[in-house]
Structure 1
Amino acid sequence: MSADKYEVIIIGAGLAGLSAAYKLAKAGMEVVVVERGDYPGSKNLSGGVLYSRILDQLIPDFWEEAPIERYITNYLTTLMTPTDYVNIEYKDQELAKPPYNAVTVLRAKFDRWLAEKAEEAGAMIVTGVKVDKVLKEGGRITGITTGDEEMLADVVIAADGINSFIAQEAGLRGEIEPAHLAVGAKALIELPQQAIEERFRLEGNEGTAYAMLGDATHGVAGGGFFYTNRESLSIGVVMRLDDLVKEKVKPFEVLDDLLRHPLVAPLVKDGTMTEYGAHLTAEGGVHMVPSQLHTDGMLIVGDAAGFTINSGLVIRGMDLAIGSGMAAAEAVLEAKERGDYSAAALSSYQRKLDEGFIMKDLKLYAKAVDFMETDRLYKNYAPLANHLFGRIYNHDLSPKEHLWKSVLGSVQESGISWLDLARDGIKGVRAL
């Protein structure tokens, strides 16, 4: 059995692992990234919305070379019934100017680009290799095993995603509660660029992102998303695992119904579906972040550490992954200066997370998880909003009523008590 020795081994070539690899390699450290997929990004479905200002900190002016699809300038929140919908739209053309606030990316392209940047900086990326377990000596992580080979390192960074068995094996994380997991079903639909820009009222590289509540998930806790790429549309649903099981709903049936919805069907008309799949995602926010993110010889980053935020209006994960990878790299560089990779030496990682936007934002939205468990968000408020606007805009020759009367009548017919309405309002304000 042979054993190669490196300064840093990173498990997983996602955004967190590659960001750490790039920063460490740029600083001159010997880094190897071990990726189970055939290439970086091969295990990702389509892509997503990346809140990209953190990427500009890692690679200044990244937009000049990165494979960006569109710059998000339009945000829509949709309250949806089976036949109707209410849109709340925000558009800001300043968001289409550098430094960009958010971009859409296709991960198969984007991750490969970031991997190339890491390789240019000096990192080694090995693909098609499955890590079997971590090596320990005297309670310290000293490397990994892959098949019949051992790879030794001063420090290991676990960036192997939501199901990180490496973090569990190292004793940093236990089994994830079902309430903290969701199933995402997603489709990628190709359309000509001109058709996308006409249908979504876009100019140039502008982009649109929808967050959809209500019938988008058939009343199951979660939501739908819909956003524009350059020559394709990404659409999908994310539904909390425990509620999905309780309601006995099938994710792909929900997604198929969403594609047929009167809001969506005209926008995807004549498109060609090129991807269709499902995967697990994190939903627990700060509640699923382990109390300790490092140990002797190891740190965990990105999804492996549970770094995701779902406020109902915004879903974030990629920016937290990049930020955590950068923070981990900075902690490793400081540990190298001291020649000490113990848990105490690597503890600056936690401090950097606490002082930066990652833990501050996770803690800010700590109550969002409980708020998002409110059934009325998915079963009652979309019908209420659509009923109210129907009363306002429907002129059937009967005398019109005062707006307040329309509100009272719609709330009464919704079955929501005023007490529940007040409670949900207060809870929402506190959570968001």
Structure 2
Amino acid sequence: MDEKFDCIIVGAGVAGLAAAMILARNNMKFLLIEKGEFAGSKNVSGGVLWGSDLARLVPEYWQEEDGGWERFINHRRLTFLDEQSAFSIDFKSSHFNETPYSGVVVLRSKFDRWLAEKVQNAIDESDFAMESFIATNIKVDEVLMENDKAVGIRTGEEEFSADSVIIAEGVNNLLTRQVGLQNDYVPADHILTGIKEVIRFDQKVLEDRFQLNGLSGMSNEFVGYATDGVEGGGFLYTNRDTISLGLVAGIKDMREKEKSPHDLLNNFKMHPVIKDILQDGEIVEYSAHAVSSGDKRVMPREVYKDGVLLCGEAANLLMNAGKAIQGMDYAMRSGILAAETIVEAKEQADYSSQTLKQYKQKLQGSYVMKDINSFQDAVHMLHNPTMYQDMPNLICDFGRKFFTIDNEPTKKSRNLLSESVKKHSSYWDLMKIGFKGAKSL
């Protein structure tokens, strides 16, 4: 393998695999390197892959009997929790049954492996079937630089040369810093810990409990008591015969409040509403990993330089603006755009930053950066203690009073709301949050 590659991709997550698929279909000679035993073996996350880019990579994926996805989302729910109660905003529509699906639930260890098989099929059909590779169980120690331009990678004692390198290493920014695109680790106050359990049920029990039909599924986000006063929120996604249940919590806030991820998750599971959901379930997997907060201030100062592009969480492309946690779709789109830029660079025989800056332009013109730029105020607002402490308590307190029927004169709703506001917040605070919410969303 002394010959030169058009491109080396570091990381076989969603971003790296998407990039590899585009390169293979454009008859590029490339090397995709993954440090795990197989694509997805080191990836413990799972959730919803939003949008239609998957259909672009794997046309009519929904017709595969044993595809890499679990269920399509046609039921969305946002739940506010206090210590005893839950108040949910619930939406379900047959509109979401249409293909390509607007969102599919995935377990990454399964999904990434499946997508890697599709990439291998594309390689086999390309002009470089014997010269492009997916190489696993390999850790990239260094991106080789000459005159501040990427010229390949080093792994152990071996070196591989390439005209370009796509870094898709995830939130661990070792290579991103090494090539000079980021000065330091992302600070702790901009990094969250994702904690997840996969809990198995009899499939009919699961489908009855969540009112699922066929391969329809539900996504449920939680705000409030889910994180026991720590910055963050909870999630629940329905898989084929399991659910993914977990939390995303601020590392700095968790440390300052002396709470561990395991304790937070156990506390979440003991909430009366969650406890009922989990009845008769069997824990089959526990995992944790770091994720970006979605604050663009911690993004690398640039996503390209001579011979190098960053995509996915290596570029801190993630956002939670309250409607959904978006990361995998951003990773997939950025991987596609990075690969398209490399294809254009080969056509021009120019892998300099002057050519590769087109990737940034593509990214800025895509929904990824348009959303990240448009919804930064919402990202900041969600990390305000009022949003994950006072507001859920207020909403649940009002709900409890509104839905309680006893043998006493019934108060008007406005009076019940006023009581809840005075107990948990103030009208002034609500006005400020309302104004910020209207402005940011």
Which TM-score tier does this pair reach, normalised by the shorter chain? over 0.9
| Residue aligning to 2:167 | 158
Q: Does 1:284 align with 2:294?
A: yes
CA RMSD of aligned residues (A): 1.3
Contact kept in structure 1, 2:68 and 2:115, CA below 8 Å? no
Q: Among 217, 224, 228, which residue is 2:238 paired with?
A: 228
Q: Among 168, 174, 194, which residue is 2:177 paired with?
A: 168
Q: 1:3: Cα distance to partner?
A: 4.4
Q: Does 1:430 align with 2:429?
A: no
Cα distance in structure 2, aligned partners of 1:76 and 1:269: 20
Alignment of 1:27-176 (within 5 A): 27-65=26-64, 66-122=67-123, 123-174=132-183, 175-176=185-186
| Residue aligning to 1:183 | 193
| Residue aligning to 1:211 | 221
Cα distance in structure 2, aligned partners of 1:52 and 1:187: 25
Cα distance in structure 2, aligned partners of 1:257 and 1:373: 20
| Residue aligning to 2:355 | 345
Map Cα deviations across residues 236-258 of structure 1 (whole Å, 9 max, x no partner). Answer: 00011221122211111111122
Q: Does 1:412 align with 2:411?
A: no
| TM-score using structure 2 length | 0.95
Tell me whether 263-272 or 24-33 shows the greater mean CA deviation. 263-272
The one-letter amino acid paired with 2:318 is T
The one-letter amino acid paired with 1:349 is Y
Contact kept in structure 1, 2:221 and 2:233, CA below 8 Å? yes
The DSSP-based 3-state class of the residue aligned with 1:313 is: coil
Q: 1:285: Cα distance to partner?
A: 3.4
Contact kept in structure 1, 2:230 and 2:249, CA below 8 Å? yes
Cα distance in structure 1, aligned partners of 2:414 and 2:274: 32
The one-letter amino acid paired with 1:118 is V
Contact kept in structure 2, 1:220 and 1:239, CA below 8 Å? yes
Q: Which runs of 5+ in 1 are unaligned?
A: none
The DSSP-based 3-state class of the residue aligned with 1:141 is: strand
Map Cα deviations across residues 370-398 of structure 1 (whole Å, 9 max, x no partner). Answer: 20221111211122111112222222222
Alignment of 1:352-431 (within 5 A): 352-414=362-424, 416-431=425-440
In the comparison of the two structures, how many residue pairs are matched? 430
**Percent of aligned pairs sharing the same letter:** 38
Alignment of 1:294-333 (within 5 A): 294-333=304-343
Q: 1:59: Cα distance to partner?
A: 2.6
Relative to structure 1, the CA distance from residue 247 to residue 271 in structure 2 (aligned partners, 3 Å threshold; closer, same or farther) is same
Contact kept in structure 2, 1:285 and 1:365, CA below 8 Å? no
Q: 1:404: Cα distance to partner?
A: 1.0
Contact kept in structure 1, 2:68 and 2:112, CA below 8 Å? no
Cα distance in structure 2, aligned partners of 1:26 and 1:393: 58
Tell me whether 350-359 or 391-400 shows the greater mean CA deviation. 391-400
Map Cα deviations across residues 401-424 of structure 1 (whole Å, 9 max, x no partner). Answer: 11111111111111x121111101
Contact kept in structure 2, 1:17 and 1:325, CA below 8 Å? yes
| TM-score using structure 1 length | 0.97
Cα distance in structure 1, aligned partners of 2:363 and 2:341: 10
